[in-house]
Homo-oligomer: A and B are copies of this chain.
Amino acid sequence: MISQKAKYALRALLALAEMESDSISAGELAKGERIPRKFLEQILMELKRDGLIQSRRGVNGGYFLQRPADTITFGQVLRLFDGPIAPLPCLSRVAYRRCADCKDEGACRVRRVFAHVANSARAVLDQTTLADAIADPDSVDRISGLSINAS
């Protein structure tokens, strides 16, 4: 399960990517996306620190994307809020950590199986951008070639 925070962040970014005006305030965003206001503020701060969005202060201030929507992937956002995508520390490329109790990583069968899970998750998340998610709904389905109702 991804955290509520990451979900909010993605929704906020999608809203920013879609807006017509040049910026939107935290308050409006919160109302429009049904995100607790103060919580959203913190999320926006993190997004800003990470260089994904920018802000303007004072009256008529607000937030807007810093980079084009087709350069921001779901994977980046998820890693920022929820940490590594890998299901095991020893499978993370960003934050590799040996499993403390593992005797032989190369021979670990659990690791071997989850490597596939990690790879396919990354294949989707690092390839799907905000722009993909906003565009024609089916375009995102085409990325992985899997139907939403499969399995």
Q: If the complex has contacts A86-B1, A121-B121, are A116 and B143 also in contact, measured as CB distance less than 8 A?
A: yes
Q: If the complex has contacts A1-B88, A35-B101, are A117 and B125 also in contact, measured as CB distance less than 8 A?
A: yes
Contact B10 A110 (CB under 8 A): yes
Interface magnitude class on chain A: 35 or more
Contact B112 A133 (CB under 8 A): yes
Stretch of A41-49, A55-63, A134-142 that contacts chain B? A134-142
Report how far A133 CA is from B125 CA in the complex, Å: 26
Q: If the complex has contacts A14-B110, A89-B1, are A119 and B146 also in contact, measured as CB distance less than 8 A?
A: yes
- Can you report 8 residue pairs joining A to B where beta carbons are below 8 Å apart? A1-B89, A14-B109, A33-B101, A35-B101, A112-B148, A117-B121, A119-B148, A120-B124
Q: Kindly list 13 other residue pairs between chains A and B, CB separation below 8 angstroms, not including A74-B113, A109-B134.
A: A1-B84, A1-B88, A2-B87, A11-B110, A33-B101, A34-B103, A113-B140, A115-B148, A116-B124, A116-B141, A116-B144, A117-B124, A126-B151
Residues of A that sit less than 8 Å from B by CB: 1-2, 7, 10-11, 14, 33-35, 74, 83-84, 86-89, 99, 101, 103, 109-110, 112-117, 119-126, 128, 132-134, 137, 140-141, 143-144, 146, 148, 150-151
